């Protein structure tokens, strides 16, 4: 049997501690499967004195991540600290420059510096694996990087933030408001005290930026993503969606268009009888549509110490199985030097169906005016629903329009035209519709 693979771990939070326990308790199985032992030889974390319930005897404690990366006797540097800059970024770069293999769960770092890091890894013949960075335990990086080789991807999209999906699911199933569901998510530990990063879509955007690069072979471009969070979604939207045969999910979508790559994160209506519509709670799902394979959907846990540790362990095992580290899967699917520049498709040219909810004064001519604004912008309608407001406090009513496929630009112009009239009794709500290819 080959020499043990020596692993150094930077970061002993939930994921790091879970990883240590798993590697120690399954040493024999791992050695059998990988053809060599996997041995944790060094660790580093912020506080040496903290009791993590781990047996760290025989493992070197290193004071800083940078020292672990530059000096420790390890083959693989596992980065589980997080953050796009600072110690995580410095130590990962140092490890790769030293020729060490790196495994990381750090989506922020990859979104910010993935191409640069991939270049260093490929120059040094090191592996850089990051399955845990996107959709936790779902092996979507491996699918895109390995299984889909030779395919031309047309669209990749998914539910990649458990907090948002939990909130939207609760709102729908229990008729609760966004604010109440957010509080509940915070109480259960599914949402941070400052939830903006999740609910405004930034977390999904980081993950989407990584998937876009793997899917389309372009430079990572996290700042080129159209972003809309879920805080604006009301229970009324969810009920209206249900009535029309849809459910609302926060999707990250990247898609090849004639003018470039569209990247967008926004609340999305998906057909109720599609498979992805059934993905509830904190569960994640990622779909990839490509020209040879067709449609692939993967559903699983998007977060959690164990699920994330499982993905990290799979990455370490891949390195262990690759004798002498000679397997050369390009880090980002395409060799970093061969990545194309990212060319952004303008959101105005996005084409799709739209749900538009308008609260209007209950007076003669309003409906005709709305219909005219739509027609003048070339928008044809799939369905129109008009309801009285249940509270009856004002003489207002709700009009819901669902459009056939149309341009974002046309929808914005039509809505602006409606806003210029005097009958609107509230801000119009616009939600994009996304349809899976076949299931």
C-beta of 136: minimal distance to its own copies in Å?
A: 9
Q: Closer CB to its own copies, residue 61 or residue 439?
A: 439
Q: Closer CB to its own copies, residue 138 or residue 225?
A: 138
205 is in an annotated binding site: no
Say whether residue 311 binds its own copies (CB under 8 A).
yes
Annotated catalytic residue 48? no
C-beta of 319: minimal distance to its own copies in Å?
A: 10
Residue 106 · residue 210 · CB < 8 Å:
no
Tokens encoding 152: 């031309």
192 is in an annotated binding site: yes
Question: Can you tell me which of 333, 336, 366, 418 binds its own copies, judged by CB under 8 A?
Answer: 333
Of 207, 249, 389, 397, catalytic: 207
Q: What is the Cα–Cα distance from 355 to 237, expressed in whole angstroms?
A: 9
C-beta of 316: minimal distance to its own copies in Å?
A: 8
Residue 372 · residue 328 · CB < 8 Å:
no
Q: Write the binding mask 24 to 63 for its own copies: x where contact by CB under 8 A, - elsewhere.
A: --x--xx-xxxx----------------------------
Tokens encoding 55: 């047996």
Q: Closer CB to its own copies, residue 21 or residue 389?
A: 21
C-beta of 193: minimal distance to its own copies in Å?
A: 26
Span near its own copies by CB under 8 A; candidates 201-209, 256-264, 314-322, 360-368: 314-322
12 is in an annotated binding site: yes
Question: Can you tell me which of 184, 236, 280, 362 binds its own copies, judged by CB under 8 A?
Answer: 280
C-beta of 20: minimal distance to its own copies in Å?
A: 13
Residue 284 · residue 301 · CB < 8 Å:
yes
For 217-232, letters b (16+ CB in 10 Å) and e give bbbbbbebbbbbbbbe
Say whether residue 437 binds its own copies (CB under 8 A).
no
The CB density around residue 292, as the number of other CB atoms within 10 Å, is 9
Q: How far is CA 287 from the centre of its chain?
A: 11
Q: What is the Cα–Cα distance from 11 to 43, expressed in whole angstroms?
A: 8
Question: Can you tell me which of 99, 260, 314, 428 binds its own copies, judged by CB under 8 A?
Answer: 314
User: What is the size of the binding site for its own copies (CB under 8 A)?
Assistant: 66
DSSP characters for 162-220? HHHHHHHHHHHHH---HHHHHHHHHHTTSS-SS-HHHHTSHHHHHHHHHHHHHHH-B--
Say whether residue 328 binds its own copies (CB under 8 A).
yes
Cβ-proximal residues to 25 (8 Å cutoff; 6+ apart), any chain: none
Q: Write the binding mask 140 to 179 for its own copies: x where contact by CB under 8 A, - elsewhere.
A: --xx--xxxxxx----------------------------
DSSP 144: I
C-beta of 270: minimal distance to its own copies in Å?
A: 11
Sheet of 38-44, strands arranged across: 60-61, 38-44, 5-10, 76-79, 101-104, 128-129
Q: What is the Cα–Cα distance from 183 to 190, expressed in whole angstroms?
A: 10
Beta strand residue intervals within 346-394, DSSP E: 351-361, 381-388
Q: Closer CB to its own copies, residue 137 or residue 353?
A: 137
376 is in an annotated binding site: no
Residues engaged in binding its own copies (CB under 8 A): 22-23, 26, 29-30, 32-35, 131, 137-139, 142-143, 146-151, 273-275, 277-281, 283, 290, 292-301, 304, 306-307, 309-311, 313-314, 317-318, 321-324, 326-330, 333-335, 338, 438-439
Q: Which residues are the active-site residues?
A: 207
């Amino acid at each position: 049997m080959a020499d043990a693979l020596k692993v150094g771990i930077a970061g002993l939070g939930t994921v790091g501690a879970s990883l240590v326990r798993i590697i120690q308790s399954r040493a024999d199985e791992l050695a059998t499967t990988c053809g060599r032992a996997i041995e944790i030889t060094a660790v580093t974390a912020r506080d040496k004195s903290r009791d993590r319930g781990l047996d760290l005897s025989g493992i070197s404690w290193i004071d800083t991540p940078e020292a672990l990366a530059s000096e420790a006797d390890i083959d693989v540097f596992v980065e589980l600290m997080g953050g796009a800059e600072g110690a995580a970024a410095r130590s990962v770069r140092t490890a790769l420059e030293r020729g060490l293999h790196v495994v990381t769960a750090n989506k922020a770092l990859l979104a910010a510096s993935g191409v640069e890091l991939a270049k260093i890894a490929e120059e040094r013949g090191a592996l850089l694996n990051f399955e845990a960075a996107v959709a936790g335990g779902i092996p979507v990086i491996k699918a895109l990087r390995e299984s889909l080789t030779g395919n031309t991807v047309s669209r990749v999209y998914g539910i990649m933030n458990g907090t948002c999906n939990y909130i939207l699911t609760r709102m729908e199933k229990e008729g609760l408001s966004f604010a109440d569901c957010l509080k509940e998510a915070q109480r259960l530990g599914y949402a941070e005290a400052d939830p903006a990063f999740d609910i405004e879509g930034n977390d999904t955007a980081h993950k989407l930026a990584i998937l876009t690069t793997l899917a389309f072979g372009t430079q990572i471009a996290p700042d080129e993503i159209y972003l809309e969070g879920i805080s604006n979604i009301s229970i009324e939207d969810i009920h209206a969606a249900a009535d029309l045969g849809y459910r609302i999910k926060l999707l990250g979508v990247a898609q090849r268009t004639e003018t470039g790559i569209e990247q967008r994160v926004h609340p999305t209506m998906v057909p109720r009888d599609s498979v992805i519509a059934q993905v509830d709670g904190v569960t994640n799902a990622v779909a990839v549509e490509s020209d040879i394979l067709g449609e692939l959907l993967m559903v699983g846990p998007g977060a959690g110490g164990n699920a994330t540790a499982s993905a990290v362990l799979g990455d370490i095992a891949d390195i262990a199985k690759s004798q002498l580290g000679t397997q050369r899967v390009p880090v980002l699917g395409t060799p970093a030097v061969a990545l194309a520049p990212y060319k952004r498709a303008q959101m105005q040219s996005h084409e799709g169906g739209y749900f538009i909810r308008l609260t209007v004064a209950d007076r003669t001519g309003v409906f005709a005016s709305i219909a005219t604004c739509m027609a003048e912008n070339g928008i044809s309608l799939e369905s129109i629903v008009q309801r009285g407001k249940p509270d009856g406090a004002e003489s207002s009513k709700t009009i819901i329009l669902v459009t056939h496929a149309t341009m974002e630009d046309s929808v914005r112009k039509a809505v602006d035209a409606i806003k210029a009239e005097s009958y609107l009794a509230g801000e119009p709500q616009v939600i994009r519709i996304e349809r899976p290819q076949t299931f």
